[in-house]
Chain A
């Protein structure tokens, strides 16, 4: 199995632009998590899907952030418009089932907003 796949690996954009991050979870996993990692705040959960349905989006910072999971094999995290403070590494993780299992992380997308 290829593991969790994220694209792009690096993204540099200018303030005000729309950014879309993509994630393909491990086949057969039906829960997916989006995290953001910064030096100041550490690793923060943004949103959690189970069977393509958002279960907990309380970590989404503001309305500029949105996430979708149109099917079991694909999810997107969109930032519109982007701001310099959104610069971070964004991780996607997946687990089989819904429960307190170990999470399988993707390699992350390093986002820089100028």
Chain B
């Protein structure tokens, strides 16, 4: 079963607004990563947060991680039309033996209207 589940499945906002996407997972993790996918393209890594970190920033991105609730959120501030894409969380689980494997959620489709 999917390790990461994003919420909401789709999000539509106006340019300039903030976008928040959430991710929940089931097992213990080494880290959690967020990726972006533009239509018809491959995934691009955005940010990685380790299990001992609670918050991380990168430009207009802010990621939080709550390991007690097994959840993470991605906040994009001051959104732009170019942020329109699907966003995926991926967990690097410590459960099982396959180091390096990531398990992806089904993504949040973000639409930013100009």
Contact = CB atoms under 8 A, between A and B. Distances in A.
Interface of A: 4, 31, 33, 42-43, 45, 48, 50, 55-56, 91, 93, 95, 98-108
Interface residues of B, number: 23
A48 B88 contact: no
Given A31-B100, A48-B100, A107 B42 contact: yes
A16 B99 CA distance: 35
Pairs of residues from A and B, 7 with the lowest C-beta to C-beta distance, nearest first? A105-B42, A100-B92, A102-B45, A42-B106, A43-B104, A100-B30, A56-B98
Contacts, number: 55
A42 B104 contact: yes
B5 to A, nearest CB: 10
Contact of A45 (B45, B99, B101): B101
B42 A48 contact: no
Contacts of B48: 102
A95 B106 CA distance: 22
Nearest to A31: B100
B99 A100 contact: yes
Interface in B10-43: 30-31, 33, 35, 41-43
B112 to A, nearest CB: 22
A48 B33 contact: no
A23 B44 CA distance: 17
Contacts of A48: 98, 100-101
Given A42-B107, A43-B104, A100-B30, A106 B92 contact: no
A91 B106 contact: no
Nearest to A101: B100
Interface string B99-113: 111111111000000
A100 B42 contact: no
B102 A103 contact: yes
